[in-house]
Structure 1
Amino acid sequence: MSQPTIEEFTNTPAGTAFHRAYDAVLARWPDGTTSIDLESGHGSTRINAYGPPDAPPVVLLPGGGATSTAWFANVAALGARHRVHAVDILGDAGRSVPGPHPPRTVDDLLDWFFGVVDGLGLDTFGIAGHSYGAMIALAAALRRPERVDKLVLLDPNSCFSGMRPGYLLRALPLLLRPTEQRERTFVAWETGGRPLDEGWLDLLALGATFPASKTIVPKRPSGKAFRDFGVDTTVILARRSKVHDSRRVDEAVRRLLPDARTIVLDDATHHTLPVHPADAVNAALLEGFGGR
């Protein structure tokens, strides 16, 4: 059976439940949040924005399936000092809709990203990305470092070190046949039974059946790619992450980017971020974007 289009999905009970959950999480953003749809040949991109329009801009890229709303626990803290632009990644779960020429390669994906920030009128900006969003953020900073004045990567997988085989093996059933229950079971395993926000978890789980495009994965950069990389970089690691060994990632960051700062969150796992532990995540984000 072929995958439904986003329009077809929207008109199903599963689609209705997903969008209701998306709106419920977005409703927890502060008053003054605005939603923007930017149109291009790649498609329609949804951005949720908050903060003073004239404040230094930051762009937030979520993990796969999490949607831009996942930053609900962080946006008030960031928006006190910055203009926050949280993006639904085109082709992934959310309210962005691929158009006639959707991204098919990493170059296309980065063209889409820079088209979005151009459409927002941003010349230079900070970027924070979690998980898959961190992979895109790093690739964008490597491609156009003159545009990125601060880079913050939350538990970045496949950026500085490989992923644990056990994590990939555990994820395999979800990747082969994603369902709401499999998503919940997988996240419960990775987070080790830590209490999770129910509204956010509902959205993530309901997004398992969203008709996402094939994921475009930037390659892990070689050591040579970092030789002249001058972007101010902060890497926030989840000590309890099951995606990778956080100590090895820390060591790789220190070797490849000796001027980067690393912050390790003791009680975080890969999939508790960026929601938990919110206070520690917010302090780390503000440190990463500090001085702007």
Structure 2
Amino acid sequence: MKMHGIKTQVGSRNLLHFKTSQKEMKYNIEYEKSLSLWHVPYKTFYVPTRFGQTHVITCGPDDGEPLILLHAMGFSSTIWFPNIEQLARKYRVYAIDFIGDLNKSVPSVLPVNREECGEWLDEVLIGLDIDSCYIGGISYGGFLAINYAMYASHKVKKMFLLSPASSFAPLHKQFIYRVIAMNAIPLKWSVSKFIKWLSRHQLNKALVDQFHAAFRYGSLSLKVPPDVYSEDELKKLAMPVLLLLGEEEVINDVNMAFYRATQICKNIRAKIVPETGHLLNLENPQYVNVKINEFLCNEFH
């Protein structure tokens, strides 16, 4: 696969998210610690778009079918460490740092609506010379995956969604208040409190430290909040879709999300995962890995 305009390093600084080079450097140190949890050979590089330089982590066989991974808000692509070993056995994986979030991408201008989010990701895939792919997203990344599947449906063969933010059901106000409070007081105790509320299991320390560093050293400026997709929009999802939701989800009503998704989307396979919260790929990776593998490898019925 030939890739166009790829840069192994990027010289410019992320001025939109990190106000000083020292703060950006401190965040990057924590990012690299989390990335060291990827126990597979990988490469990192930047793909230029009109929105800036997009950071990509790739691994897996060169001739594998492309699989795009989109991360949760504030966590970056390193969140996929419990899943990456299995996914990289067969697929050429591209974990992409959303250019509107706190991570290693370097934006020059932030996407301000869903159309621009779709345009940004399409430019990344064009830079990677990807004409069709599988796509998966967790939380905000799930919201972005659905958005792209509507923006460029001809390019998405299958899509898996892990606790997509909003999308099928409105966000609880408590979630919004907690994010605002954590962002306003990004101390270790407030971040830990938020993570414990979000997840029903203890998460990897390096990943939690990176999440804390994002809010401590960076400035969250997400321009496109997750929202609920309309019935007409969801009916456009013609590709097979796997939806996994945590039984103890806290950011929205899990039963409403399950009901609405299964009633509207014809080609969806949905499951509520017992004893898991919002970050189910971190809380129950073994189950999630099995379900994703079954979905991607088998014919959809």
TM-score by length of 2: 0.88
Deviations 1:157-186, CA, capped at 9 Å, x for gaps = 211111223333433412444444322211
Q: Residues 134-149 of structure 1 correspond to what in structure 2 (within 5 A)?
A: 134-149=142-157
Cα deviation, residue 287, structure 1: 2.5
1:126–1:148 Cα contact (<8 Å) kept: yes
Deviates more, 1:218-227 or 1:139-148: 218-227
Structure 1 segments (4+ residues) deviating >6 Å? none
Aligned counterparts of 2:188 and 2:46: Cα–Cα separation in 1: 28
1:103 aligned partner: 111
8 Å CA contact retained: 2:245, 2:272:
yes
CA contact (8 A) 1:106 1:218 kept: no
| 2:5 corresponding residue in structure 1 | none
Q: Helix, strand or coil: the match of 2:141?
A: helix
Counterpart contact for 1:157–1:163, Cα < 8 Å: yes
* Structure-1 residue corresponding to 2:140: 132
- Counterpart selection for 2:170 from 142, 156, 162: 162
1:190 is aligned to 2:198: yes
CA–CA distance in structure 2, aligned partners of residues 7 and 215 of structure 1: 16
Contact 2:182 2:191 in 1 (8 A): yes
The 1:163/1:20 distance shift into structure 2, 3 A limit, reads same
Of 261, 276, 294, 1:287 maps to 294
- 1:191–1:269 CA contact under 8 A, matched in 2: yes
Kindly indicate whether the alpha-carbon contact (under 8 Å) linking 1:91 and 1:97 is maintained by their aligned counterparts in 2. Answer: no
> In the alignment, is the contact (CA less than 8 A) between 1:128 and 1:153 conserved in 2?
yes
Give distance in 1, aligned partners of 2:248 and 2:30. 28
Contact persistence 1:239–1:265 (CA under 8 A) = yes
Structure 2 match to 1:74 = 83
In the aligned structure 2, how far is the partner of 1:5 from the partner of 1:172?
A: 19
Structure 2 match to 1:9:
20
Does 2:265 align with 1:257? yes
The alignment of Structure 1 onto Structure 2 pairs a total of residues equal to 285
* Contact in 1 for aligned 2:18/2:219 (Cα 8 Å): no
Aligned to 1:37: 46
The residue type equivalent to 1:158 in the other structure is S
CA distance, structure 2, for counterparts of residue 229 and residue 88 of structure 1: 24
Q: Distance in 2 between matches of 1:85 and 1:65?
A: 18
Alpha-carbon deviation of 1:190?
2.5
Matching residue within 214, 229, 232 for 1:207:
214
Deviations 1:23-52 (A, max 9, x none): 011112134201021112210011001100
* Alignment pair present for 1:235 and 2:246: no
SS of 1:25's partner is helix
Q: Structure 1 residues 180, 10: closer, same or farther in 2, change over 3 A?
A: farther
Instruction: Calculate the TM-score normalised by the size of structure 1.
Output: 0.90
Instruction: Name 1:91's counterpart in structure 2.
Output: 100
- Name stretches of at least 5 consecutive residues in structure 2 with no aligned partner: 1-13
1:106-143: CA deviation from partner (whole Å, max 9, x where unpaired):
22221111000111111010111111111111011012
Structure 1, unmatched stretches of 5+, are none
Q: 2:275 aligns with which of 254, 267, 279?
A: 267
Query: Aligned equivalents of 1:199 and 1:225: distance in 2?
Result: 38
Among candidates 18, 21, 36, match of residue 27 of structure 2? 18
Q: Report if the CA contact (8 A) 1:139-1:218 is conserved.
A: no
Deviates more, 1:259-268 or 1:40-49: 259-268
1:38 is matched by which residue type in structure 2?
V
Q: Residues 42 and 81 from structure 1, CA distance in 2 versus in 1: closer, same or farther, beyond 3 angstroms?
A: same
Report the aligned-residue RMSD.
Answer: 2.0
* 8 Å contact kept, 1:181–1:205: no
Q: For 1:286 and 1:168, how far apart are their aligned partners in 2?
A: 33
The answer to whether the Cα contact below 8 Å between 1:180 and 1:208 also exists between their aligned partners in 2 is: no
Structure 1 residues 211 and 123, CA, compared in 2 at 3 Å: closer, same or farther? same
Alpha-carbon displacement from aligned partner over 1:202-243 (angstroms, at most 9, x marks no partner): 111111132343331354221112334311111011111111
Percentage of identical aligned residues: 22
**Aligned equivalents of 1:232 and 1:180: distance in 2?**
40
1:65 equivalent in structure 2: 74
More off after superposition, 228-237 vs 79-88: 228-237
Q: Is the 8 A contact 1:65 1:93 kept in 2?
A: yes
Shift of 1:4: 6.1
Letter in 2 for 1:98: P
